[in-house]
């Protein structure tokens, strides 16, 4: 099905950025603002996206994103609407590169220094504190969802897992919405992936794993575990000060 010429009568699609199980993300421009600045339009896919319960939950999640977007390290929500039986979110465009991009090169994985990792963690924790104070769990902290804004090098939190959870939610035979587990293998803790029960500590775990990946240059699935404690074994793959090692061990 072809896209309408304008979304919500104002957002013109420039190109597709990516596509996944929860929907499609487009680069778009706002034709009603001077200079037609860029923005990001996300089309959510749900098999029951015309169901009133789905639409209600969509707008509830949009209200949360609107509130979170007041923080300088979270993209602002510009619009949320239902058009042609599709659900759309429009957010501020962030000019920058993800931490995943920083860790990946044609030559292979790159490692970050301890100083760089500590700075990264401080940035992310500043934003996470605000998120958790608003009783929200990001649910999908990983290098690909941490964007370094080019103009000031600040880390932005993008792609909150609640949006993916909405897209993947189910409607049972009684018409009730059921929750599903959301997260990324290797980055999300047990209680989140197996029990669909994330908590603020789940984000802390994911950030700790992300920091370990940045230090070792290894994807979490490439790291082993202690057969007795089931703790992740990583300190033999890099050199860090005892203080940071203890902190990361506690986080994961």
Tens digits of residue pLDDT in 78-109:
999 988 888 999 999 999 999 999 998 776 56
Structural tokens at position 144: 């690909």
Give the tens place of pLDDT for each residue, 56-78. 888 888 999 999 999 999 999 99
Interior/surface letters 128-165, b for 16+ CB within 10 angstroms, e for the rest: bebbbeeebbbbbbbbbbbbbbeeeebbbbbbbbbbbb
193 versus 79: the higher-pLDDT residue is 79
Report, as an integer, the average pLDDT of 185-208: 85
**Catalytic-role residue among 140, 159, 203, 236:** 140
Residues in the chain, total:
252
Judged against a pLDDT cut of 80, whether residue 147 lies above it is answered with yes
Strand 23-30: give its sheet, edge to edge.
Answer: 11-20, 23-30, 38-44, 86-92, 77-83
Instruction: List helix spans (H) across 2-152.
Output: 52-68, 99-103, 114-133
- Angstrom CA distances, 197 to 51, 63, 154, 194, stand at 25, 21, 30, 8
Task: Answer for the pair 138, 207: CB distance below 8 angstroms, yes or no.
Answer: no
Q: What integer pLDDT is reported at residue 182 of this predicted model?
A: 75
Q: Map residue 228 onto helix, strand or coil.
A: coil
Segment 126-149 mean pLDDT: 95
**pLDDT above 90 covers what percent of the chain?**
63
The model's pLDDT over 18-55, given as tens digits with 9 standing for 90+, comes to 887 778 999 999 999 999 999 999 998 877 667 787 88
Higher pLDDT, 220 or 85: 220
Q: Whole-model pTM?
A: 0.89
Q: Is 8 left (phi over 0), alpha (psi -120 to 50) or beta?
A: left
User: Does the annotation mark 101 as catalytic?
Assistant: no
Q: What is the pLDDT of residue 203?
A: 95
Instruction: Please tell me the distance from the alpha carbon of residue 200 to that of residue 39, in angstroms, as a whole number.
Output: 29
Cα separations in angstroms, 240 against 25, 117, 164: 38, 10, 35
Q: Is the pLDDT of residue 228 over 80?
A: yes
Q: What is the pLDDT of residue 52?
A: 80
CA distance 240 to 246: 10
Residue with tokens 């999640």: 61
Give the per-residue pLDDT at 14.
Answer: 95
Q: 10: how many CB neighbours lie within 10 A of its CB?
A: 17
Among the residues of the chain, which ranges form H helices?
Answer: 52-68, 99-103, 114-133, 161-168, 190-193, 200-216, 242-251
- How many Cβ atoms are within 10 Å of 49's Cβ, its own excluded? 18
């Amino acid at each position: 099905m072809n896209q309408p010429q304008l979304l919500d009568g104002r957002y013109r699609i420039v190109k597709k950025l990516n596509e996944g199980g929860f929907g499609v993300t487009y680069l778009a421009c706002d034709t009603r603002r001077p200079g037609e600045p860029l923005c990001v339009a996300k089309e959510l896919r749900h098999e029951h996206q015309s169901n009133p319960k789905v639409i209600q939950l969509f707008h509830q999640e949009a209200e949360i994103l609107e509130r979170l977007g007041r923080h300088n390290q979270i993209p602002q929500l510009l619009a949320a609407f239902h058009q042609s039986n599709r659900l759309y979110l429009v957010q501020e465009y962030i000019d920058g590169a993800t931490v995943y991009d920083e860790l990946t090169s044609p030559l292979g994985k790159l490692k970050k220094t301890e100083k760089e990792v500590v700075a990264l963690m401080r940035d992310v924790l500043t934003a996470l504190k605000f998120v958790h104070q608003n009783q929200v769990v990001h649910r999908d902290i990983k290098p690909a969802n941490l964007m370094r804004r080019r103009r000031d090098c600040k880390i932005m939190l993008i792609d909150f897992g609640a949006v993916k959870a909405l897209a993947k939610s189910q409607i049972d035979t009684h018409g009730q919405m059921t929750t599903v587990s959301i997260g990324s293998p290797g980055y999300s803790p047990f209680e989140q992936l197996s029990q669909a029960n994330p908590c603020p500590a789940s984000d802390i775990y994911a950030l700790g794993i992300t920091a370990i990946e940045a230090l070792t240059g290894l994807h979490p699935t490439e790291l082993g575990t202690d057969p007795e404690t089931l703790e992740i074994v990583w300190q033999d793959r890099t050199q860090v000060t005892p203080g940071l090692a203890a902190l990361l061990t506690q986080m994961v």
